[in-house]
Chain A
Amino acid sequence: MLIIPAIDIINGECVRLTQGDYDKKMVYGKDPLVMARKFVDAGAKFLHIVDLDGAKSGRPENKDLIVKLVKKIKVPVQVGGGIREISDIAEYLEAGVERIILGTKAINDPDFLKNALGLFGADKIVVALDLKNGKLMTNGWIRSATEDFEYCLLRLKAIGVKNLMVTDVTKDGTLERPNFELIREVVDFGFEVIAAGGIKSEEDVEILGNSSQAVVLGKALYENKIDLNKILQKNFFGLTKRIIPCLDVKNGKVVKGVNFVDLKDAGDPVELAKKYAEEGADELVFLDISASLEDRKTMLNIVEKVAKEIFIPFTVGGGVSTLLDIKALLNAGADKVALNTSAVLNPQLISRAAKQFGSQCVVVAIDVKKKDDNWKVFIKGGSEETELSVLNWAQEVEKLGVGEILLTSMDRDGTKKGFDLELLKIISTAVGIPVIASGGAGSMEDFRDAFVLGKADAVLAASLFHFGEVSIKKLKNFINLFNISIRL
């Protein structure tokens, strides 16, 4: 998750309030810039800065100081406190602020919020919801708003708010435990949630990591209850998660369809492969979706070319049905071979292949579709339903010696609605071999969720990369923000 240290400013100094009470103020440092540098040196990748004077008065009071700070700090910063004019938002964003936090004004003035979202984009705006005993609070937590909390969430969703910062004021600064249920509830509405208030231990951060996407840490850092360096370094060593572009190849061209049909041309496989390798792809997958024998030979030629040009691992699948097929692909230079239909029809093929060529080069691809409360395995390019349920089949192929599972949700494939996280988590935690998630990638957040919530070891996507909607480099930088181990 994204861990965001907080710097609250009153009179140009770093302070913390307790339960939003301006009379219970503790000064932790004279210079916010020094504090910001301290956090960045400890590894912080994002900072949260609040102009508390501004929150109280209703206009930015420490703007000059904050702008100066943002220009000197190399990590992105979100700023809140007294921002109630479009011109203030524009000024902060122009100065290099990454995101603007709107509180009181956003709740009280929907037209202003709509206007801001339209002008600057949903990514740039965070709406802060402060709650005291289940009630919304405004004006620096001094006044309670009249609106019902749930109604407010629905309303914000409807006008296109994406990011919410949820603070339980009853907890803030008290180092009591955060309100996990409340956070969960907001996440379930479909928001990107930054949790704040009352986070007091590394364990709290870990629990929140399973629901909210980011967390703001304040007093716990200032009082040394949480070692920032330690939590940020947790994933520093060890295996990284993998980003894998997938190239569906037909008649020597890369194509991509929606729900396994309706194919579009996306370019030359060798050129695309090269481009992805240069951009930082961790591996590549080629799926041969041609039907004729002639095209299979074309595929072998492509594999040979790729192997001579690209020195990252790649998997080839599609129509692989015998040990000879596998051998031919490996000899052409493929590192791994993916089996699908043939594995279902002839499970012995898997164990034989694993024995002869090693588990590491045998991948089983499983295509599934949800039927009632279960996921059924489909074969023959998704055209034929089998009796197999996905969990049984995944555990079976592990026993047979497979090295990895490539799990595709046919319901999500090409839809860009996000991965089937429920399916992913079930399978990934049920087997002891790596699981590659596939089907449904639509945004960078989807990849993050597949790793964090779906427990995927690797994520595969096609159209998103082919059509340039997301670049691999940008995606990896985004993933890195959330403290997920990734190769940059």
Chain B
Amino acid sequence: MKTIAIIDYGAGNIQSMTNALTKLGRKFKVVSSGNEFLQFERDFVKFDRVILPGVGAAKFAMDELRERKFIEILQNLTIPFFGVCLGMQLLAEWSDEGEVECLGIVPGKVKKFEKSELKVPQVGWNKVYNMRKSPLFDGIDDKEYFYFVNSYFLPIYERTLLAKSFYENDFSAAIFWENFYGVQFHPEKSGEIGLKLLNNFCTKC
């Protein structure tokens, strides 16, 4: 059976992602290092998808991904990849969060929401709009609400943009490049619609 690799870089809670995949009846394997990833593929079966959940800070995450020998594996993936929240931001070239070079798979630099009268982090439900046609959004209406928690955002880059959201400014809510998908929100925490989107990634992307 097809198996999804969930990348665990030790930042803590990936429980909600595994709960959601379990609910959707998807088979997955949590891998804590590049070696474990390769070992599993050697001993059992090739992964058919990769999910990088988003927890913690960019600098910590990049350090851990390097330490755990994930970087090269991720940069050379040809199977569908799904980055969630921080997992999406790490696809970019650079993050101001800890001033760190990221995976450099998609163009762009991750920035912080400038504090004005707005609260940072952005916590809660926000509309995702200008959705472009993509299997990821199959059966999902434009301007649907998803759950966000973020202080940093990836600006809009037309070449990779799948959908936008607005908080003080427009930012990338979803991106796509070759086999790499990323969303700023948490589909695993966005109720039924979120589960639908996650299932779309697992079955249609």
Say if A and B assemble together: yes
The minimal Cβ–Cβ distance linking A61 to chain B, given in whole angstroms, is: 43
A307 to B12, Cβ gap below 8 A? no
Provide the main secondary structure of the chain B interface.
mixed
Q: Are B15 and A277 in contact (CB under 8 A)?
A: no
Residues of B within 8 A of A333 (CB): 13, 15-16, 19
Q: Say yes or no: A311 contacts B12, CB within 8 Å.
A: no
Asked whether A330 lies within 8 Å of B12 as measured between CB atoms, the reply is yes
Contact status A359-B119, CB under 8 Å: no
Chain A residues within an 8 Å CB radius of B151: 359
The answer to whether B15 and A331 touch across the interface, beta carbons within 8 angstroms, is yes
Q: How many residues of B are counted as interface, with CB atoms below 8 angstroms from the partner's CB atoms? A: 39
Partner of B125, one of A242, A327, A432: A242
Q: Which residues of B contact A332 (CB under 8 A)?
A: 15
The CA-CA distance from A353 to B119 in the complex, in Å, is 21
Task: Flag if B147 contacts A312 (CB, 8 Å).
Answer: yes
Q: Do B12 and A356 touch across chains, with their CB atoms under 8 A apart? A: yes
Alpha-carbon gap, A434 to B119, bound state (A): 6
Does the CB pair B149–A307 fall under 8 Å? Answer: no
Residues of B within 8 A of A335 (CB): 13, 16, 189
Task: Give every chain A residue within 8 A of B55 (Cβ-Cβ).
Answer: 358
Across chains A and B, which 5 residue pairs bring their CB atoms closest together, nearest first? A237-B166, A487-B125, A360-B149, A487-B145, A330-B13
Whether B124 lies near A433 (C-beta < 8 A) is: no
Is B188 a contact of A311 with CB atoms below 8 Å? yes
A99, B167: Cα distance in complex, Å: 36
User: Closest approach, in angstroms, between the C-beta of B7 and any C-beta of chain A?
Assistant: 17
A236, A237, A327, A457: which contacts B123 (Cβ < 8 A)? A457
Q: Name the A residues within 8 Å of B19 (CB-CB).
A: 307-308, 311, 333
**A242 CB contacts on chain B under 8 angstroms:** 123-125
Chain A count of residues within 8 A CB distance of the other chain: 35
The interface residues of chain B lying within 8 Å CB-to-CB of A240 are 124-126, 145
- CB pairs A–B below 8 angstroms (14 shown): A236-B127, A237-B165, A239-B148, A240-B124, A240-B125, A242-B124, A331-B15, A335-B13, A356-B12, A358-B11, A359-B151, A361-B13, A403-B123, A434-B119
Confirm or deny: A166 has a beta carbon within 8 angstroms of a beta carbon on chain B.
no
Residue in A237, A330, A359 whose beta carbon sits within 8 Å of that of B15 in the complex: A330
Given contacts A308-B23, A487-B145, contact A404 B57 (CB under 8 A): no
The CA of A236 and the CA of B16, in the complex, are separated in Å by 29
**Are B129 and A237 neighbours in the complex by a CB distance under 8 Å?**
yes
- The 8 A CB mask of B83-107 against A (1 = contact, 0 = none) is 0000000000000000000000000
Q: Known pairs A239-B125, A240-B124. 4 more at Cβ < 8 A?
A: A311-B16, A311-B194, A330-B15, A331-B13
The answer to whether residues A311 and B119 also contact, given A238-B126, A331-B15, A360-B149 and a CB cut-off of 8 A, is no
User: Do residues A311 and B13 form an inter-chain contact, with CB atoms below 8 A?
Assistant: no
Contacts of B190 in A (CB 8 A): 311-312
Decide: A238 and B166 in contact? CB cutoff 8 A. Answer: yes
| A112 within 8 A of partner (CB) | no
Q: Which residues of B contact A458 (CB under 8 A)?
A: 124
